[in-house]
Amino acid sequence: MNNFEILRKNVADILQSIPSGVILVAAAKTRNAREVDAAVKAGIHAIGHNYIQEAEQMHPLVTEKAPWHMIGHLQRNKVKKAVELFDMIETMDSLRLAVEVDKHCANANKVMPVLIEINSGKESNKTGVLPENAIELIRQVQTLKHIRVMGLMTMGPRFGNPEDARPYYKITKAIFRKIKEEQIPNVEMKYLSMGMSNSYQIAIEEGANIVRIGTSLFGPR
Ligand SMILES: *Cc1c(COP(=O)(O)O)cnc(C)c1O
């Protein structure tokens, strides 16, 4: 099989292994537009990017239509571009960033769906809001007119035993449930984005309905 045949088979295998209704985001970092087009044709649901510059270069070259999700840490000086390129920002983690996104969305006359990124491991070197601060952040972000909070995202550990990721997913799901119960105006707890190549099955067991997969689709980076 050539690389594109392998990619098509990988997409088919993963779609087979996840329940219908779970959104498969192809994590496209370091890949090229032909690979991303092939993945969309094969049935992935959304294209995930970590870096604005990479996304910007790829954007005109990708011809297949799918929603673009920002899944990497977003810097405030890149927000204007991000608002142009993306249909969802999965990595909202501060009010300062949200205010910037709101401003540029107002200028562009659009409303950006966002997920709040939870630092479920409470690691100081990781991005995301700490679990205990999530509700307060959401209460603040929901006042912004051009942002719509639609769920939560977390990273968890990328390598190691997939079971090691389960506690991180449980913590995030518990916050998801709690915020849903709060019924905060303008906040819809619809999407829970958790799980990568080595742990997406576990994430789905713990309630994920968005999984972000790179290696298991495209091969090693
Ligand atoms: C790269 C990346 C993924 C996918 O990781 P794989 O292990 O290659 O599946 C998922 N989410 C984020 C935020 C990433 O940066």
- Cα-based distances in Å from 191 to 18, 53, 88, 125: 15, 26, 11, 25
Distance 186 CA to ligand 1 centre (A): 29
Give which of 217, 79, 211 is closest to 154, Cα–Cα: 211
**Cα dihedral 197→199→204→207 (10° resolution):** -120
192 neighbors 172 (Cβ within 8 angstroms): yes
Give the whole-angstrom CA distance, residue 82 versus residue 87.
9
**What's the sign of the alpha-carbon dihedral 42, 43, 49, 54?**
positive
| One-letter identity of residue 173 | K
Tell whether the model's pLDDT for residue 163 goes beyond 90.
yes
| One-letter identity of residue 124 | S
Mean pLDDT of the chain: 96
pLDDT in tens, 121-151: 877 777 999 999 999 999 999 999 999 999 9
Q: State the residue range of the domain holding 146.
A: 3-218
**What pLDDT score does 123 carry?**
78
**What pLDDT score does 159 carry?**
77
pLDDT in tens, 189-213: 999 999 999 999 999 999 999 999 9
Is any ligand 1 atom within 6 A of the Cβ of residue 113?
no
- Cα-based distances in Å from 61 to 29, 67, 80, 116: 15, 15, 20, 29
Specify the number of domains making up the chain: 1
DSSP string across 95-149:
HHHHHHHHHHHHHHT--EEEEEEE-TT--TTS-SB-GGGHHHHHHHHTT-TTEEE
Q: What's the mean pLDDT in 214-218?
A: 97
Which atom of ligand 1 is nearest to 25's Cα? 10
pLDDT in tens, 18-31: 999 999 999 999 99
pTM of the predicted protein model: 0.97
Is any ligand 1 atom within 6 A of the Cβ of residue 29?
yes
What is the CATH classification number for the domain harbouring 145? 3.20.20.10
pLDDT bucket at 168, cuts 50 / 70 / 90: very high
